Chain A
């Protein structure tokens, strides 16, 4: 019974989602849109779960005097400061409110910094990938060199054939590989959905027993 109820609900919901794809009638479309709204509502409640988990984990670290508890203290300061500014400051919606300032002047730049680190990681990954130790790595190196040259004016200045080769690499072997992967992914998605609907795949609820 403990497993039958979620399996039945999963089957009914999955079947409805599959069938509605073929039925454009507004009654069915309205039911589909309502289900999506339920998902939004569920997500709002789930954030409470997430916050509880976050607080509990870091509280335990501080309580147990874990070596990295300093980060947990910083997390608590940030969490309660933003909560306080958001809930109790009278004009937290105003552009110059402390809440907005904290968000725009602290979180946004920090996130931008993390994102910008990507450039350095691309360089280090490229350095490793382009070491021509194997045939595949050599092919990758040659293809990447052609594509990079073909995308900048200097490539065309060296030879008009470089942009053409770039286009061919991107539109023929690259696109064919991408489409092959996408077909496999599509079938894999359908198979996974079907296996879950039919109760064949039960790992998502802890296993088959």
Chain B
């Protein structure tokens, strides 16, 4: 059986070139017999909406040879004059009937022609389009829904902050992880061991890092009150500079500026796993009583949290990195999930205006939940045919 297959394979090596030559001849003969390639038709040019400028959308109807597979691509040409001076602007592959010219001159009428091109490079040109002018826009209409939501959000937050300033009592549900911070600081003091605070690997432009810095300020006040050592290894030099300032201010605020040690808030490295090695080394050598992980974490989260668990520390984590949450939940004693990280600073400080911000946040969340319920009911009614799809489309789908 194997011998037969081998013979067939060897024979195929000789037969294939002959077959290929024959096929080329057949294709050439077929091409000679084909009608000439029809041009694309109905070429239109329009200014690209909601863009930064210098962009025109060109559309056309496909060449009649497209469906037969004769077209390889469509070449788009632009000119400032309807008859002459056309230059190549770009190309769309066969089957595509639109092209966005991102290099169109601004504020000038521009004309377009499109050619259908075959495998031999022969082109069949369309008629010239009507002129279009590329204009930059001052407002992106596609984002109007975002703007409306943002305005509602701002109004809700300002309203509740003002209510809090007037002395309105605002209820905030318990967050066990944050309630435990006091106990964790007390435990570290009793054990005479430090607290390790890790604010993630992201930069200061990440909101999660800013939230972590805000929490650090509150934690530093507590460690200063108890005169407990706080170690903060940083993965970003800007974050380090800000955290040094935050911790220093916190110590000054509780009347213990002399307890602040600048060497305890320090830069380690930007390299992800070198940082892990450095922090794990600190954990193993210092055996901190409490470890707080707040901010943005990546693949290092589990290595850090498992090492912390192995040295017997109480661990409190808070992150908005959805993929890392399961690791923290598994390895830490308490985990702040997603938005709880952003609520932590207000929760710990108990400042009324900050709690007002949380209430505003909850209000918009409630509105979103109501919106999701309404959309679900409408989608179900459309699916069972109780409401026509065309009636719903303009209400729920924006283009």
Contacts and interface: CB of A to CB of B under 8 A. Distances in A.
A128 B330 contact: yes
B131 to A, nearest CB: 21
- By secondary structure, the B interface counts as helix
B274 to A, nearest CB: 6
Contacts of B268: 54
A83 interface: no
Contacts of A24: 50-52, 136-137, 139-140
A58 to B, nearest CB: 9
A88 interface: no
Nearest to B51: A24
Contact of A21 (B143, B207, B238, B346): B143
A204 B246 contact: yes
B65 interface: no
Interface stretch (A39-47, A94-102, A149-157): A39-47
- By secondary structure, the A interface counts as helix
Interface stretch (B117-125, B173-181, B248-256): B248-256
Contacts of A23: 138-140
B398 to A, nearest CB: 15
Given A114-B276, A181-B322, A183-B365, A193 B207 contact: yes
Given A46-B237, A191-B361, A206-B245, A68 B285 contact: yes
Interface of A: 18, 21-27, 29, 39, 42-43, 46-51, 53-54, 56-57, 60, 68, 71, 107, 110-111, 114-115, 117-118, 121-122, 124-126, 128-129, 178, 181-185, 187-196, 198, 200-201, 203-209
Interface of B: 50-54, 136-140, 143, 146-147, 150, 153-154, 157-158, 161, 203, 205, 207-208, 210-211, 213-218, 234, 236-238, 240-242, 245-246, 248-250, 252-253, 263, 266-274, 276-277, 281, 285, 299, 302-303, 305-306, 320, 322, 325, 327, 329-331, 337-339, 341-343, 345-346, 349, 351, 353-354, 357-358, 360-361, 364-365, 368
7 contacts: A43-B203, A49-B237, A56-B263, A57-B263, A128-B331, A192-B214, A207-B250
